[in-house]
Amino acid sequence: MANEQDLMERIVALAKRRGFIYPSSEIYGGINGFWDYGPLGVELKRNLKDAWWQDIVRCPPAGPDGRPLQMVGLDCSIIMNPKVWEASGHVTGFTDPMVDCKESNNRYRADQLMVIYAWDVEFGSGDDSQARRVFAFVHNDAKSFAAALSRAKKEAKKLGVKVVDEPPVLPLMHPEFEGYWQWVVGPDATEPGTLTQPRQFNLMFKSHAGAMEDSASLVYLRPETAQGIFCNYKNVTDTTRIKVPFGIAQIGKAFRNEINPRNFTFRSREFEQMEIEFFCHPSQADPWYAWWRDARFKWYVDYGLKSSKLRLRDHEKEELAHYARACADVEYEFPFGTSELEGIANRTDFDLAQHQKFSGRDMTYFDDETKERFIPHVIEPSGGIDRAALAFLCEAYCEDEAPDENGAMQRRTVLRFHPRLAPVKAAIFPLVKKDGMPEKALEIYAALRPQMTAFYDEKGAVGRRYRRQDEAGTPFCITVDGQTREDGTVTIRDRDSMKQERIASDAPTLLGCLQDRLRR
Ligand code: GAP
């Protein structure tokens, strides 16, 4: 576990050092739950969004009948009529249970707090004053578990009681703790009994549209992009020739006032979603759900998430939201634990029926061929771009060894991104800054730039330049050297195998060769 913590720290450090992700407004100390993407991060994220848009909207996969799915895109406003969020249930139901600590003034999501039975003393038996401190509080992740356990051990030593080696852990919200709240020591507290009872906290960010700040001007920043799609479903069927079954896709920002943003960008307050609402006949919802569930899992595998770290977890009946008939999560094993990247849900006709009820507009669909009228059922694959970017970053991160200029093996950090996701596709170097090499390298750079993200670097030893590109995840480095002038060839070095080959340096050959390799 300690190694995994370290690993996450190394990934976060690399993300900052190489310009993938910075804390937002860092010069003012940052702001919890908000992040900025740097020059490499923004390319990674854009490549991810482009890949999704291409694979879902522009060139959708073939459905079960072998024909390409009918898919279109939308880009809806972030602020919508607040009635949308009444109809969707977010105003009353989009809440998390929150507890406050009166000692540390920290705030926690009650359902994320865990209790360690650290002391080897039966509650209520023996010395009660000791037994009353048998609980220690942690977040449900390896780092805070380790911290809480070590704190528990220290306190136990002071009191002269024993801590079991592998203490049982339970969620605080477990019914067993109902009567014992006052004995619980909060994660950042020294004394027991400082945590308040949980209360519901609505996660939607509020603002006001217009000059008056009153209840009539209250608006919300959307907590999901999905509702923009539901509200436009009629517009889309009325203005295009699309027929059920079809899907509407959207990529866009979403905002949630998370109680505990954490795990780097994994749980942020501002993030981007990639959502599909797939509208189908009610009788076809189950097979379409199964189809999307498998298709979305495969998408992540295709872009390089190893299936051993990915899993598709079907929700238990008790876990399902009241409107969902089925739901599965694509989960990834991050260094901080296994967590959700995307949820695929069968939302039935819940959303359209709610909007029909609240707006008074007809949300039914008329099938010309069968002469049937119905409210379509919806399958929703809903993913987070920031979470996917983080998963691809973690998956790509690798430390191995590479020879330096003198052939001595050195540790290197390499990001083994899928070429389609790699922020920079090719780096171009002159071996040395003389003999016409920079000019030739700049010529190649100019030829490649319109076709792909390329990078030119002439500073420092070439080995170090390779290493810098390995760390940025650049799949190919092209070097102009002494032989280039003689036979017109350059070397092309592969990031993963570190093998170099000589190829012709004229633009069509180079471009063809790179494009071929990037497609692999
Ligand atoms: N329309 C359904 C919906 O929004 P969700 O499971 O709440 O479902 C979908 O969110 C996806 O959005 C999640 O799988 C996750 O990838 C991403 N997401 C949700 N909350 C997030 C947060 N606080 N930070 C980053 N990504 C988040």
Q: What is the pLDDT of residue 118?
A: 64
pTM given for the model:
0.91
Calpha distance 394→304 (Å, rounded)? 11
Calpha distance 185→150 (Å, rounded)? 14
Percent of the chain clearing pLDDT 70 (strictly above): 93
| For residue 374, pLDDT beyond 50 | yes
Q: Atom 19, ligand 1: which residue's CA is nearest?
A: 384
345 contacts 382 by C-beta, under 8 angstroms: yes
Which candidate, 281, 393, 460, 358, places its Cα nearest to that of 37? Answer: 393
224 lines ligand 1 (CB under 6 A): yes
Cα of 222 vs centre of ligand 1, distance in Å, is 12
**pLDDT band for position 124 (cuts 50, 70, 90):** very low
Q: What is the mean pLDDT of residues 169-191?
A: 80
Residue owning tokens 């400082």: 194
Calpha distance 28→19 (Å, rounded)? 19
Cα of 273 vs centre of ligand 1, distance in Å, is 7
**Helix spans in 362-436 (H):** 385-396
* Structure confidence by residue, pLDDT tens digits, 262-319: 899 999 999 999 999 999 999 999 999 999 999 999 999 999 998 789 999 999 998 8
Q: What is the mean pLDDT of residues 488-495?
A: 97
As a whole number, the mean pLDDT across the chain is 91
The mean-pLDDT minimum among 91-95, 321-325, 392-396, 452-456 falls in: 321-325
Q: Atom 26, ligand 1: which residue's CA is nearest?
A: 384
Q: What is the pLDDT of residue 182?
A: 77
| For residue 178, pLDDT beyond 80 | no
* Structure confidence by residue, pLDDT tens digits, 63-83: 999 999 999 999 999 999 999
Q: What is the mean pLDDT of residues 439-455?
A: 97
